Amino acid sequence: MTQSPQSAQISYNTSLKQLENAADIIKLDPAAYELLRHPLRELHVTMPVKMDNGSTKIFHGFRVQHNDARGPNKGGIRFHPDETIDTVRALASWMTWKTSVMDIPLGGGKGGVICNPKNMSLGELERLSRAYIRQLGNFIGPQKDIPAPDVYTTPQIMAWIADEYSIMHGHNQFGVITGKPLALGGSAGRGDATARGGIYCVREAAETIDLNLAGARAAIQGYGNAGSYAHKLAVELLGMKVIAVSDSSGSIYNPDGFLYEALMAHKKKSGSVTGFPEAAAISDKELLELDVAVLFPAALDSVITKTNAPDIRAKIIAELANGPTTPEADTILYKKGVYIIPDLLCNAGGVTVSYFEMVQNAYGYYWEEKEVQQRLEKKMKTAFLAVQQKSKAYNVNNRLAAYIVAVERVAEAMKLRGWY
């Protein structure tokens, strides 16, 4: 599944529409609204990289800093052949809202390079990563903007970036990046943090609507890092049964559920979940419309739309992807009584543990995995409650409530700083 430029534009327009809706409800000052509609800063870079065959290839990339009123910008770096500046702008703004919803002292940033890492050697990826960070060297830093892994970037890429940045500054600066390997100051518990945070939210949502999850069915669209860990943790922590999963090659279904270890072993061997024994092939549309307790959209944006929303039968939608539900679909699902845990909250476990990594880097003392998980759980529950309270106070859906929480906090910081 690749993201087209058209899809990227939809994401950006969606992010602006969601901000507008929240601003209208809280009667946000016009100057504050105009500030929040645009990134504070953007950097466009061009990078020559020596390829293995001796040629030089020119790559283009971006870094967007949306708003740092509450603290340094934070957000991932994406390596994707269809990357666009509009995608990066939208995701940078969503990072502002995520960090605000979670009440961590950071703003929103995002970066991207137009490339296809699947067609590049490790050496080429290393040279590209180092070239990118050399261009960004004066634009980012532990007190300015702290990147992290995102689509098609890895802890190894973060390690190269941290090393190059350290070389540029003449001393170790591992705190410039998060999502690093443990040996270079990474945090325990970062690998499954996005999924784990989402699972904690699902547990809270089920209690809110009095839904028993033990033995209940789940479907996962997107079996990457977040989706695969969601499978593992939905079974381990909630006692659920995952009956359908998908990846970029297709979707599979088994009413008796899938064993996580067996499915992961198959995917590692074959490269896809498709072709798994004792599984029926289904369409992505069928997966989204299965009769399940929880649907985890964990792939791309705008997959739940006004077209398929009337046919969604899940009781809870836990958005591990960014922007999987369009505003029109939101309205339909809210009226149907589907409980949506919005992306700003549901998938914020990753940035929260990245923040924990920053804290550990800053004072050179590292927590055990259990402590990271306990701190994450507390943060997720607190944020969930804040969103719930706004939803009731304004009689709005959870996404709008999450935006209200986030926008109010950022607007307050901007006002106290004298920005408007």
Q: Which residues are catalytic?
A: 110
- CA distance between the termini of the chain: 42
Q: In the beta sheet, which residues pair with residue 242?
A: 218
Residue among 151, 136, 162 nearest 73 (CA)? 136
- φ, ψ of residue 153 to 5 degrees: the values are -120, 155
Residues contacting residue 19 through CB under 8 Å, at least 6 positions apart: 33, 36, 37, 93, 403, 407
3-state helix, strand, coil in the chain (%, to 5): 50, 20, 30
CA 214 centroid distance within chain: 27
The vertex-353 CA angle with 203 and 2, nearest 5°, equals 80
CA 166 centroid distance within chain: 27
- The helix (H) or strand (E) run that includes residue 65 is strand 56-67
Cα(193)–Cα(243) distance, integer angstroms: 23
